[in-house]
Amino acid sequence: MIRENQRLLNGLNVLTDGVILLLSLPAAFWLRFYVLPGGTISVPLEAYLLLALVLAATHLFSYAAFGMYHSNRKTRLVRKLTIIWLSGALNMAALLSFLFVQKSVNYSRWTLAVFFLLSCTVLSLKRIVLRVLLRFLRRKGYNLKHVLLVGADAMGRRYLQEIKKDSSLGYQVIGYVASRETSDLNIPYLGGFDHLEQLLEAHRPDEVISAIELEDFHRTPQIIEACEKTGTKLSIIPFYAQYIHSARQFDEFNGIPLMNIRRIPLDNWANAFVKRTIDIIASSLLLILTAPIMLLCAIGVKLSSPGPILFRQERVGLNKKPFQMYKFRSMRVNAAEATGWSSDRDDRKTKFGSFIRKFSLDEFPQFFNVLKGDMSLVGPRPEVPHYVELFKEDVPLYMVKHQVRPGITGWAQVNGFRGDTSIQGRIQHDIYYIEHWSLLFDLKILWITIFGGKFMNSEKLS
């Protein structure tokens, strides 16, 4: 039976990560100048050792900021690995930018590149090996977390389903307590609510999961009292859990806790400021870098068919405010352009329009929308008012997407929800992005967009 000491385990985890980071830079120094050919030492090893201290501190800070050291049982391995590599890339980009401005010390760029690859690889291998070892131990019956479930209705069943999906998490439900026995749960029925305290004394579970429904809500004080008397950790799944986000927040009003059912990180002014600052800087640079391409596109559009160079269309943005979204016109001027969807074989498209759509060049003018503040580089794709009115009645939670700025690319788009695809699937991904936003998440989406061949468009209008 497990008695968690997560603080100690996290401390050991941070310590070993710090040691790996500290050793990776001198190891990279040795590989670069004593193993790989062509290296000339211009900065002594002592300087690299001092830099290793700085890099170790910044990496550990960023890992913690991105949730690296949360409980391993509740975090997927792929998320841990993603944090390691994307956070490492972010730290290296910041370091190289600083060294570019501060040219007094000429660190070897190849050494830093080897450090990045070496540290991320070793840290990833550490977590893979640890996860495999824990999975092996849990299959043998060790390192299991024994849970007693209170409640056997909808939320209790959902909890059991999630546990069964991934046995490597090491949760074992020893049985359930409910007002009546249910035959199809495939776990032992231990008794009713009135026997909970005795059951906790007899079975001594590591945790109690309360998943009671509304009709049993009056049992909540009894459940809390039984757990407190026996010193058992209690976690509660509210009967309205399907309506709230897992990362909910609590406020306080004169001692009364207030739960926000939908947590939006961008409601935090600091997060919003960081995202908007990056949008302004990035869109300005992109407008400069893509100016020659946009000039050629403008000439091509003008020569391809009569009509304006830019296609302007009203879309619904942040806080449901309409704005004009820009694209290079890829179709002949037509009556259905305000609301009509197009297909890959649309007769309204010009030959040049097909070309710029193939490479998503028609979307480049949206960098102006980002600079103006109508849009962001990353966010839910904006929709025309006609479809907003249509979808908000039929698609649950559709209007939640308007609580953030729309984006040129988004989590739904890089997951394949582009064009004539499931609106429900798109909204589910948009809401996941809104509720889980982080700078690292934005960088991940941009990386997939640029290098995964999934650039921008969720629709093709006009």
Q: Which residues of the chain have pLDDT under 50?
A: 1-5, 454-462
Segments in 329-454 forming alpha helices (H): 351-358, 366-372, 385-394, 411-414, 423-435, 439-451
User: Is 290:364 a contact under the CB 8 Å cutoff?
Assistant: yes
67, HSE (Cβ side, Cα atoms, 13 Å): 17
Give 89-94's long-range contacts (Cβ < 8 A, gap of 24+). 89/116, 89/443, 90/62, 90/439, 90/440, 90/443, 91/55, 91/58, 91/59, 91/62, 92/116, 94/58
Encode pLDDT of 160-211 as tens digits. 888 887 666 778 899 999 988 887 788 899 999 999 999 999 999 989 999 9
What is residue 345's predicted lDDT score, i.e. its pLDDT? 57
What is residue 4's predicted lDDT score, i.e. its pLDDT? 45
Encode pLDDT of 119-171 as tens digits. 999 999 999 998 888 777 777 767 678 899 998 888 888 888 888 876 667 78
User: Is 34:97 a contact under the CB 8 Å cutoff?
Assistant: no
What is residue 1's predicted lDDT score, i.e. its pLDDT? 39
What is residue 30's predicted lDDT score, i.e. its pLDDT? 93
Q: Under 8 Å CB-to-CB from 12, ≥6 apart: which residues?
A: none
How many angstroms separate the CA atoms of 134 and 419, rounded? Answer: 43
- As to burial, measured by CB atoms within 10 angstroms (0-12 exposed, 13-18 middle, 19+ buried), residue 124 is middle
User: Is 331:304 a contact under the CB 8 Å cutoff?
Assistant: no
What is residue 221's predicted lDDT score, i.e. its pLDDT? 93
What is residue 430's predicted lDDT score, i.e. its pLDDT? 93
What is residue 459's predicted lDDT score, i.e. its pLDDT? 42
What is residue 248's predicted lDDT score, i.e. its pLDDT? 61
How many angstroms separate the CA atoms of 281 and 371, rounded? Answer: 8
Report strand pairing: 322-328 vs 310-316. antiparallel
Among 270, 319, 260, 275, CA closest to 441: 275
Among 157, 137, 139, CA closest to 149: 157
What is residue 298's predicted lDDT score, i.e. its pLDDT? 93
Tokens 């640029």 label which residue? 450
